[in-house]
C-alpha cells in the first residue's frame, strides 16, 4: 500500500494523541474495526463513526496542505460535521463546540457516550491521589 504524506501524518497524529479524536476525545480505530468493537463492546455500525481520519486544521479548500503541522487525527464524525458547513469553523471554535456537546450528551449517540463516558470523565480531570 503506498504511503502518502497525508497517511503518514495521520498515523503520527494518531499516536501523538494516544488514539483519541482531536475534537471529541473518544478513542478511534485505524485498521482493525473488529478488534476495536471487541475491546469496547460496541457494534460495528456504532464503531464506524469513530474511524480515524486525517483532519486538515486549515481546510484543503482554503489552501490547507497535507503537512504534519496542518494534520490532526479526528474521528470521521467530527471531521465530516466540520466540513459539511459551507465555511468550516476555525479549529479552536469547533473544538469548543464539540466538547460542549459531548458534555451535554449531544454529540455521538448515547451508546458511544456511555461506552466511553468514564474514560472521558477522566480525560479533563487529573486523577485524585488517595493519600
Closest approach, Cβ 82 to Zn ion, in A, equals: 10
Measured between alpha carbons, how far is 114 from 66 in angstroms, rounded to an integer?
A: 34
Q: Is 24 in the site for Zn ion (CB under 5 A)?
A: yes
Closest approach, Cβ 100 to Zn ion, in A, equals: 13
- In this complex, which beta carbon is closest to Zn ion, that of residue 1 or of residue 108? 108
Query: 57 φ, ψ to 5°?
Result: -60, -50
Closest approach, Cβ 19 to Zn ion, in A, equals: 12
DSSP secondary structure letters along 1-17: ----HHHHHHHHHHHHT
Report helix, strand or coil for 29.
strand
**Residue position matching grid coordinates 469547533:** 94
Figure out which of the listed residues 42, 47, 75, 113 binds Zn ion, where binding follows CB under 5 A. Answer: 75
Q: Is 23 in the site for Zn ion (CB under 5 A)?
A: yes
Q: Is 78 in the site for Zn ion (CB under 5 A)?
A: yes
Measured between alpha carbons, how far is 79 from 46 in angstroms, rounded to an integer?
A: 16
Binding site for Zn ion (CB under 5 A): 21, 23-24, 75, 78
Amino acid at each position: 500500500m503506498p504511503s502518502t504524506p497525508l497517511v503518514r501524518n495521520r498515523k503520527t497524529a494518531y499516536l501523538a494523541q494516544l488514539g483519541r479524536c482531536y475534537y471529541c476525545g473518544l478513542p478511534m480505530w485505524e485498521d482493525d474495526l473488529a478488534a476495536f468493537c471487541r475491546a469496547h463492546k460496541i457494534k460495528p455500525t456504532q464503531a464506524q463513526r469513530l474511524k480515524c481520519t486525517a483532519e486538515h486544521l486549515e481546510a484543503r479548500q482554503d489552501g490547507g496542505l497535507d503537512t504534519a503541522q496542518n494534520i490532526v487525527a479526528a474521528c470521521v464524525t467530527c471531521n465530516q460535521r466540520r466540513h459539511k458547513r459551507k465555511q468550516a469553523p476555525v479549529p479552536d471554535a469547533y473544538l469548543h463546540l464539540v466538547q460542549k456537546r459531548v458534555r451535554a450528551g449531544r454529540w455521538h449517540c448515547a451508546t458511544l457516550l456511555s461506552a466511553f463516558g468514564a474514560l472521558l470523565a477522566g480525560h479533563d480531570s487529573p486523577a485524585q491521589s488517595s493519600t
